[in-house]
Amino acid sequence: MAIQLFTPTFQVEECLQEIRECLEKGWTGLGFKTVEFENKWKEYTGLPNAHFLNSATVGLSLALKILKMENNWNDNDEVITTPLTFISTNHAIVYENLTPVFADVDEYLCLDPIDVEKKITPKTKAIMFVGLGGNTGKYKEIVELCKKYNLKLVLDAAHMAGTRVNGEIPGKEADVVVYSFQAVKNLPTADSGMICFQSSELDELCRKLTWLGINKDTYARANDKGAYKWKYDVEYVGYKYHGNSIMAAIGLVQLKYLDRDNSYRRQLAEWYDQNFKGFSSKIKPVPVAIDCESSRHLYVIAVDNRDELLLALNESGIYPGVHYRDNTEYSMYKHAYGTCPNSHKLSEQIISLPMHLQLTKQDVDFICETVIKYT
């Protein structure tokens, strides 16, 4: 039987029960379930605001749009970012007519604070930190750089649902945090996300922008009393980016099991680590920062014969992935090629091994035996 990189696990009956409530009430859009999920997420993370969206990608775009609007940034102002991420991270910068400036990564596959500081210019307005695989890397040092240079901090927490640092959910130090609940994430729905601003004023602005710039959403109007509940103003050219109650219903169930599920992912990672002990000369697992309790969305190793190993694993019925290709290799970001040598080198060495709740120790042992055999 094939071993896939990701196989999401849903609490099917509980999810169906939550969705049934939406269908029976006839309210499947933005509404009572999205509000409930937002409140539960704030309670879980300790973050002051949370707004449910239809994807994390639009969350990153909104984060930069709103920071740009509120801080009077100019077109082509710079955001320092990583080349080792899913392309949506860097597209979000370009969506807002800002310029991505690529800084290199460290041993954790996260932004290297030393190279970040070198890339800061008078046009730098923000840093986009990606917690790759749930790792926090040297996030605290990035926070200090933002304070030192008066920069905004956007935390791309797409892989970080459930990650903790010294027992605390990170992000309270950031101006905005964006989570992903896409289909194969640790808290999977079909697709959705959450944007968490520190500022309540920016959260309010975000809610207007996600509902076409309208200052009163349909759920608020439905609960309004009086003859004028239909009357609203349109203050901005907004978008239809908000999440819906069907996705929120799934998210509410999945959230209840997030810490338990992440605990099992960390167990899988321990099994991988145990199997690879003694093979460090040819198989190098990417470390987790010492104070980080990672969500373990990914388990990544670096090897010298990555492409050959991928083929051998596929022929053995194992289907790993690569997170990620150096973004400066893509045509649209080719102008920055060569600016991040460590990212480029690692991009040609890394493999993400299967990491999901349906794996057993026997599966992990088989994967490791195969990796060792063909490395």
Complete DSSP assignment for 4-69:
ES------HHHHHHHHHHHHHHT--SSSHHHHHHHHHHHHHH--S--EEES-HHHHHHHHHHHHHH
CATH architecture of the domain covering 258-374 = Alpha-Beta Complex (3.90)
Task: Report which of 40, 65, 48 is spatially closest to residue 171, judged by C-alpha positions.
Answer: 48
| CB 3 within 8 Å of CB 363 | yes
Q: How does strand 78-81 pair with strand 99-102?
A: parallel
| pLDDT surpasses 70 at 152 | yes
> What is the band of 217 on the pLDDT scale with cuts at 50, 70, 90?
low
In the predicted model, is pLDDT for residue 132 greater than 80?
A: yes
Query: What is the per-residue pLDDT across 313-353, written as a single tens digit (0 to 9) for each?
Result: 999 999 999 999 999 999 999 999 999 999 999 999 999 99
Q: What is the tally of helices (H) and strands (E) in the chain?
A: 13, 14
pLDDT for 213 beyond 70: yes
Q: pLDDT tens digits, residue range 236-294?
A: 999 999 999 999 999 999 999 999 999 999 999 999 999 999 999 999 999 999 999 99
Amino acid occupying residue 152: K
- Distance (Å, rounded) from C-alpha 297 to C-alpha 262? 8
The residue-averaged pLDDT of 298-327 equals 98
Which residue type is seen at 359? L
CA separation, residue 117 to residues 36, 83, 106, 125, 131 (Å): 40, 16, 14, 13, 18
Cα gap 369→355, rounded to integer Å: 16
**Is the pLDDT confidence value at 31 over 80?**
yes
Predicted local confidence at residue 136, as pLDDT = 98
Predicted TM-score (pTM) of this structure: 0.96
User: What pLDDT is attached to residue 215?
Assistant: 86
Q: Where are the domains of the chain?
A: 3-256, 258-374
Q: What pLDDT shows up at residue 1?
A: 81
* Spatial separation of the C-alpha atoms in residues 343 and 286, rounded to whole Å: 13
Rounded-to-integer distance, Cα 215 and Cα 205, Å:
9
Q: Does 205 have pLDDT greater than 60?
A: yes
Average pLDDT over residues 89-118: 98
pLDDT of residue 222: 59
Q: Going by C-beta distance under 8 Å and a sequence separation of 6 or more, which residues neighbour residue 224?
A: 216
- Residue 226 pLDDT > 60, yes or no? no
Please tell me the predicted confidence (pLDDT) of residue 114. 98
pLDDT at 229: 63
> What's the confidence (pLDDT) of residue 219?
60
Amino acid type, 68? K
Q: Where are the beta strands (DSSP E) in 192-238?
A: 193-197
Where residue 231 falls among pLDDT bands split at 50, 70, 90?
Answer: confident
**pLDDT at residue 93 greater than cutoff 80:** yes
Q: What is the CA radius of gyration of the chain?
A: 21
CATH topology assigned to domain 3-256: Aspartate Aminotransferase; domain 2 (3.40.640)
Q: Residue 210 — pLDDT band, cuts 50, 70, 90?
A: very high
For range 70-78, the mean pLDDT = 98
User: Residue 221 above 60 pLDDT?
Assistant: no
CA atoms in the 13 A half-sphere facing the CB of 267: 14
| pLDDT value of position 224 | 58
